[in-house]
Amino acid sequence: MKTFLLASMMAMTPLVLQAQIIELSEQQQQMLGVRTEAIRSTETTWSTTHPASVQVPNNQLRVVSTPVDGILEQLSVAEGANVAQGEVLAEIMSPALLEQQSQYLNARSSLDLASAEMKQDRQLHKEGIISKRRFLETQSTYIRARTEVEQTRQLLVLAGLDDKELDQLARTRQLTSKLKIRAPLGGVILEQMAEPGQRLQALDPIYRLAHLSPLWLEIHAPLGEVAKIHPGTRVQVREPAISAEVITVGRMVHDEDQGIMVRAEVREHTELLRPGQFVQVRLAISGSGQQFRIPRSSMVRVQNKTWVFVKSAQGFAPEEVNVITEESRHLIVSGQLTNGQQVAVSGTSALKAAWQQGTE
């Protein structure tokens, strides 16, 4: 019976088909299994899910290392600890530090002597007792001494001594072999990379430290979607349910999946994420004109174009649509549609066959 009805529909007069209307009574629709659903307009269009990894922004990540050779005597914190900027993280016992302090104090003594000699020779030169050449030689010695003090001071600064400790060293002239390693910023210890008692060389790492707000999401997006993604595009993390915003869109195509790296920034609820964590995300896709969400089953393809069958009082009319993006069960399309219109979601094969037969 169903085959007979379909054959009868194909015999419709060309006049009706030219009007792009497939006439069907309610009884015929039931016999062909044609069922409809209302379409809805949508303001937000989301892509399919893409994998993303949680990363710490580069300017919020530090590797805390020893500035001088020595033995790691003490660790004050461990992985996962929250630390404040300037907090002591570790102590190093370093003979090299003693030598640097000694060089600094010797340089200061030489500067004091050179300063006194230059002051004296300046006066003698004014009185004509010594030559200008003699005064210039004294001045040159003073400049070299001052440069030596600044150089040895900077070495101690690089070793981790602050202005207060340097002033105390110059005042008391008491040397110490212990160096305190302090946190360069407030954050969380991501990794402990050394053990107490370990002999370390200069620049050997001790901790990895990061400030965890904001965070980055590095998303692998298909090349075909990149044209619709731009800085400011909204991103939705599925679990946990938080949002982000695209800040950069990469230019290089990755060999592994022929995708593009899209970087988004999470500014709120970053405590729900962990660096290195993998999550699933969706991106808000921009499109031109009004957009509609329709069931996948309502779509048919004819001559490389996408169509839906819109129900009217006389039957069904094919309407061309443009697919903007795909969701798991729906498509987001644009076209000459109206919010609330009924489209066929089953029996579309019969409607397509009748339409194509009528246009031959």
- The answer to whether residue 230 is domain-embedded is yes
Residues 203 and 67 in one domain: yes
- Tell me the backbone φ, ψ of residue 158, rounded to 5 degrees: -65, -30
Residues 300 and 348 in one domain: yes
- The answer to whether residue 167 is domain-embedded is no
Residues 267 and 137 in one domain: no
Q: How far apart are CA 166 and CA 159, in angstroms?
A: 11
Residues 9 and 120 in one domain: no
Q: How far apart are CA 193 and CA 18, in angstroms?
A: 76
Q: How far apart are CA 43 and CA 53, in angstroms?
A: 28
Residues 82 and 206 in one domain: yes
209 membership: H or E segment, kind and range: strand 205-210
The pLDDT of residue 359: 57
Query: What's the CATH code of the domain at 80?
Result: 2.40.50.100
Residues 241 and 217 in one domain: yes
Residues 219 and 259 in one domain: yes
Q: Which of 250, 283, 316 is the last residue of a domain?
A: 283
The pLDDT of residue 9: 46
- The answer to whether residue 76 is domain-embedded is yes
30 by DSSP, 3-state: which?
A: helix
5 by DSSP, 3-state: which?
A: helix
Residues 232 and 347 in one domain: no
Residues 229 and 133 in one domain: no
The pLDDT of residue 15: 33
- The answer to whether residue 80 is domain-embedded is yes
Query: What's the CATH code of the domain at 23?
Result: 2.40.420.20
Q: Which of 233, 266, 283 is the last residue of a domain?
A: 283
Tokens (6 digits) for 130: 């010594």
The pLDDT of residue 6: 46
The pLDDT of residue 25: 79
- The answer to whether residue 169 is domain-embedded is no
Report the number of distinct structural domains present in the chain. 4
Residues 87 and 191 in one domain: yes
- Tell me the backbone φ, ψ of residue 127, rounded to 5 degrees: -85, -5
The pLDDT of residue 334: 84
Domain residues for the domain of 317 are 2-45+288-359
Residues comprising the chain, all counted: 360
Residues 18 and 109 in one domain: no
Q: Which of 283, 310, 326 is the last residue of a domain?
A: 283
- The answer to whether residue 20 is domain-embedded is yes
User: Residue-wise pLDDT tens for the chain (360 aa)?
Assistant: 444 444 444 444 333 334 478 888 788 888 888 999 998 888 777 778 899 999 999 999 999 999 999 999 999 999 999 999 999 999 999 999 999 999 999 999 999 999 999 999 999 989 889 999 999 999 999 999 999 999 999 999 988 888 899 999 999 999 999 999 999 999 999 999 999 999 999 999 999 999 999 999 999 988 888 888 899 999 999 999 999 999 999 999 988 778 899 999 999 999 999 999 999 999 987 655 678 888 989 999 888 889 999 998 888 989 999 887 777 788 888 888 888 899 999 998 888 888 877 555
Query: What's the CATH code of the domain at 217?
Result: 2.40.30.170
- The answer to whether residue 170 is domain-embedded is no
Type of residue at 268: E
Q: Are 242 and 201 in contact (CB under 8 A)?
A: no
Type of residue at 123: Q
Residues 90 and 181 in one domain: yes
Q: Which of 108, 92, 249 is nearest to 182 (CA)?
A: 92
8-28: pLDDT as tens digits: 444 443 333 344 788 887 888
The pLDDT of residue 18: 42
- The answer to whether residue 132 is domain-embedded is yes
Q: Are 187 and 60 in contact (CB under 8 A)?
A: yes
The pLDDT of residue 48: 80
The pLDDT of residue 325: 75
